[in-house]
A and B are shown apart, each in its own frame.
Chain A
Amino acid sequence: MRDIIIMISSTIGVLFIFSTSLAMLRKPDVYLRISVTSKASTLGVGLILLATAIFFNEYSVTTRVIAVILFVFLTVPIGSHMLARAAYFTKTPIWGGTKIDDLAGQYDPETHELHSENRNSSIKPEKTDKAS
C-alpha cells in the first residue's frame, strides 16, 4: 500500500517536471518561460520530496524534507520575480502575440521606480515576430 502511494506521488511530480521542461523549450518568450518555471516546477519538487518522506518514515528525514519544501516554495517565486524584473529593465523583447503589457512605459529608467499613473514615456520592450 505504501509503495503504491509513493509510486503515484512520484509519478505525478515527474510529469509536472517533464511538462515544465517541455514548456521551457516551446514557449516563445522569456517572461512566459519564467512564469512556467516558477509555477509548475515547485509542485513537482514538492511531490517527489513528499514521496521520499513517505518512504523513509522517520522524524529526521521528514524534518529535512519539510525544510527543503518550505525553502523552495518561499524562494522560487521571489527569485523568478527578480529575474523577470531585471529582464524587463534590460529590454528583452516581448512575444508579438502579447495583447496587454501594463508595465509599458511605467518604469522610471533612472531610479527604477514604478509609476501608477499613465506615463507611457520610458522603458518599453520591443515586440518580436509572432512566428519565432
Chain B
Amino acid sequence: MSLQEYFHFIIIPILGLSVILVFIRFVKGPSLADRVIALDMLILISICIIAVYSIMFNQSTFLDIAMLFALIAFLSTTAYAFYLEKRERK
C-alpha cells in the first residue's frame, strides 16, 4: 500500500468522521461557549486536512493557508470570549 492510498483510504475518512462529530456538537450545543469551542475545533481539524492534502498532491504551497487558519482560529476564539464577557457586564 503506497502512501497516497493509505492517506486516501484511512486518514481522510477518520478526519471526515471527526468533522461530523464536532459539527453535531456545533448544532446541538446548549450554550454559546459550546459553539465557540466547536468552531475552534473545526478550524484545527481543517488545518490537519490541509496538511494531509498537501502530502497527497505533493504541493507544499497549501501550508500557507494552514498558517493563515491557525491565525484566524486564535483571533476568532479571543474575540468571541471578549464579547461574551462584555455582554454579561452590561
Residues of A in contact with B (beta carbons under 8 Å apart) = 3, 6-7, 10-11, 13-15, 17-18, 20-22, 24-25, 30, 33-34, 37, 41, 44-45, 48-49, 51-52, 55-56, 58, 60-61, 64-65, 67-68, 71-72, 75-76, 78-80, 82-87, 89-90, 92, 112
When the two chains form their complex, are residues B22 and A24 in contact, meaning their CB atoms are under 8 A apart? yes
> Once bound together, how far apart are the Cα atoms of A112 and B89, in whole Å?
9
Contact A24 B38 (CB under 8 A): yes
The number of residues on chain B lying at the interface, defined by a beta carbon within 8 Å of a beta carbon of chain A, is 51
Q: Is the interface of B mostly helix, strand, loop or mixed?
A: helix
Give Cα A67 to B70, complex, Å. 10
- Note all chain A residues with C-beta closer than 8 A to B88: 86, 89-90
The residues of B with any CB-CB pair to A shorter than 8 Å are: 2-3, 6-7, 10-11, 14-15, 17-19, 21-22, 24-25, 31-34, 36-38, 40-41, 44-45, 47-48, 51-52, 54-55, 60, 63-64, 66-67, 70-71, 73-74, 77-78, 80-82, 84-85, 87-89
